[in-house]
């Protein structure tokens, strides 16, 4: 798509730092800027992009819940059905939980064929040194003209796949890094895109916002009481993502977690082993302390980030709790969230709706 062609892009604001203003009553920043105000901070020359605005909510992303993910996906679906010739979407979002929302939208909107771009800022756009205007400008460029057909996060001149990125820095402009593999591209004078991305296409999009939010994320630490797992199950959770040490390892001697994991699986709770390392993957076949979790019924998240693993398990359990089907879906690569030599990549079909 030529950058000389006028195009239409939809912006969906959800709040976040980029839209924050100083509240004299609370003496702290909260979301409050309108899209029009944010657009006024952009340099001239963006006139070839016609912006369609869909005001959704003004929320600090620390307050975002799974139903907010569904609202974002539903807004994109409704706008797409109303204006099918849109070049792409930009979702303005707080950085704290942007990865969760963007990952969720990836699963809930598949084969979209156009960029769904999440962005925000580390400094409110109302401040003169904010990174917000640059990120918004870059997001609009990607949504309008990039040969990209998937959900991504555009931040600090980089384009990251939504299901492969983590927020690693709380203040630097360079807040996000792709865990693995490399980013999808970068923004300089031109939009530079790398191989391995999903390009724009004309397949029929699939919208599926079903979720089961009864999924718990548990980080293993020395001295963790094994009973915590049974307590989580007793609280009504249907799935637990466990961030193990290293390649997904757990204690198997003192304070062993193997017994509670086996009991949870027998009670119908899906157990998914991830790693608490920012870079790496769960390989439960290498160490005895990792294989022990596999032997009692836990599944491996492989190289999925913990954020993507949590969202994917919520999405899967929104469709089924049957163990064999859950396992099959965990081992299915839907939106490039996992790398497996024997995985299936779904295009235009779903295990639930063949």
pLDDT at 298: 95
- At 7, the pLDDT band (50, 70, 90 cuts) reads very high
- At 286, the pLDDT band (50, 70, 90 cuts) reads confident
Phi-psi region at 336: left, alpha or beta (left = phi > 0; alpha = psi -120 to 50)? left
Q: Name the β-bridge partners of 320.
A: none
CATH of 7-207 given 3.40.50.1980, 3.40.50.1170, 1.10.230.10, 3.40.50.2300: 3.40.50.1170
Q: Which of 259, 262, 246, 237 is nearest to 313 (CA)?
A: 237
Average pLDDT value for residue range 15-43: 89
Q: At 248, is the secondary structure helix, strand, or coil?
A: coil
pLDDT at 4: 60
- Give the integer Cα–Cα distance in Å for 58 and 76: 17
Asked if residue 291 has pLDDT above 80, the reply is: yes
- At 182, the pLDDT band (50, 70, 90 cuts) reads confident
**Residue 284 neighbours by CB distance under 10 Å:** 23
Q: Please tell me the least confidently modeled range out of 12-21, 25-34, 78-87, 113-122.
A: 25-34
Name residues whose C-beta falls within 8 Å of residue 322's C-beta, 6 or more positions apart in sequence.
none
Catalytic machinery residues: 17, 95-96, 167
pLDDT at 354: 35
Secondary-structure percent of the chain, ordered helix, strand, coil, rounded to 5:
30, 25, 50
Name residues whose C-beta falls within 8 Å of residue 267's C-beta, 6 or more positions apart in sequence.
233
Average pLDDT value for residue range 223-231: 97
C-alpha angle 227/230/232, rounded to 5°? 110
Name residues whose C-beta falls within 8 Å of residue 268's C-beta, 6 or more positions apart in sequence.
238, 321, 323
For the chain, give every domain's residue range: 7-207, 215-345
Q: At 133, is the secondary structure helix, strand, or coil?
A: helix
Asked if residue 348 has pLDDT above 50, the reply is: no
- Give the integer Cα–Cα distance in Å for 283 and 297: 15
Report the interhelical angle of 98-108 vs 66-82 (nearest 10°).
50
Q: At 298, is the secondary structure helix, strand, or coil?
A: coil
pLDDT at 342: 54
Q: Is the peptide bond before 62 cis (omega within 30 degrees of 0)?
A: no
- At 352, the pLDDT band (50, 70, 90 cuts) reads very low
Q: At 263, is the secondary structure helix, strand, or coil?
A: helix
Asked if residue 353 has pLDDT above 50, the reply is: no
Starting at the edge strand that comes first in sequence, how are the strands of the sheet with 299-300 ordered? 215-219, 239-244, 270-275, 299-300
For every residue of 134-178, DSSP letters joined together read: HHHHHHHHHHHH----SEEEEETTEEEEGGGEEE--SSSS--EEE
Instruction: Classify domain 215-345 at the CATH topology level.
Output: Rossmann fold (3.40.50)
Asked if residue 287 has pLDDT above 90, the reply is: no
Average pLDDT value for residue range 327-350: 75
pLDDT at 3: 63
DSSP secondary-structure letter at 93? -
Q: Mean pLDDT, the chain, as a whole number?
A: 92
Q: How far is CA 141 from the centre of its chain?
A: 21
Q: Which of 310, 305, 313, 290 is nearest to 337 (CA)?
A: 305
pLDDT at 340: 80
pLDDT tens-digit series, residues 132-153: 999 999 999 999 999 999 999 9
Asked if residue 47 has pLDDT above 80, the reply is: no
- At 1, the pLDDT band (50, 70, 90 cuts) reads low
Asked if residue 180 has pLDDT above 80, the reply is: no
pLDDT at 203: 94
Domains 7-207 and 215-345 share a fold: yes
Asked if residue 345 has pLDDT above 60, the reply is: no
pLDDT at 347: 45
pLDDT at 6: 84
Q: Which of 221, 233, 222, 247 is nearest to 300 (CA)?
A: 247
C-alpha angle 95/124/107, rounded to 5°? 25
Average pLDDT value for residue range 217-232: 97
């Amino acid at each position: 798509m030529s950058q000389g062609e006028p195009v239409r892009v939809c912006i969906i604001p959800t709040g976040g730092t980029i839209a924050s203003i100083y509240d004299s009553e609370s003496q702290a920043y909260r979301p409050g800027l309108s899209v029009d105000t944010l657009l006024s901070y952009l340099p001239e020359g963006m006139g070839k992009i016609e912006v369609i605005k869909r005001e959704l909510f003004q929320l600090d992303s620390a307050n975002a819940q799974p139903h907010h993910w569904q609202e974002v996906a539903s807004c994109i679906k409704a706008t797409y059905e109303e204006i099918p010739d849109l070049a792409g979407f930009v979702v303005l979002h707080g950085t704290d939980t942007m990865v969760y929302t963007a990952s969720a939208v990836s699963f809930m909107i598949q084969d979209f064929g156009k960029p769904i771009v999440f962005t925000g800022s580390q400094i409110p756009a109302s401040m003169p040194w904010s990174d917000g205007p640059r990120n918004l400008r870059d997001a609009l460029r990607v949504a309008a003209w990039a040969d990209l057909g998937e959900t991504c996060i555009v931040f600090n001149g980089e384009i990251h796949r939504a299901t492969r990125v983590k927020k690693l820095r709380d203040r630097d402009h360079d807040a996000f890094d792709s865990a693995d593999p490399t980013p999808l591209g970068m923004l300089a004078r031109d939009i530079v895109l790398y191989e391995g991305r999903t390009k724009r296409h004309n397949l029929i999009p699939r919208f599926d916002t079903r979720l089961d939010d009864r999924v718990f994320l548990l980080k293993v630490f020395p001295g963790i009481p094994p009973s915590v797992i049974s307590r989580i199950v007793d609280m009504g959770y249907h799935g637990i993502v466990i961030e193990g040490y290293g390649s997904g390892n757990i204690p198997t001697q003192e304070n062993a977690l193997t017994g509670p994991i086996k009991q949870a699986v027998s009670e119908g709770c899906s157990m998914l082993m991830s790693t608490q390392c920012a870079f790496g993957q769960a390989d439960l076949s290498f160490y005895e302390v990792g294989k022990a979790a596999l032997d009692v019924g836990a599944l491996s998240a492989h190289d999925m980030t913990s954020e993507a693993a949590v969202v994917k398990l919520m999405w899967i359990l929104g469709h089924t709790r049957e163990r064999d089907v859950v396992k099959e879906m965990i081992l299915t690569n839907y939106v490039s969230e996992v790398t497996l030599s024997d995985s299936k990549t779904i295009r235009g079909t779903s295990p639930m709706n063949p």
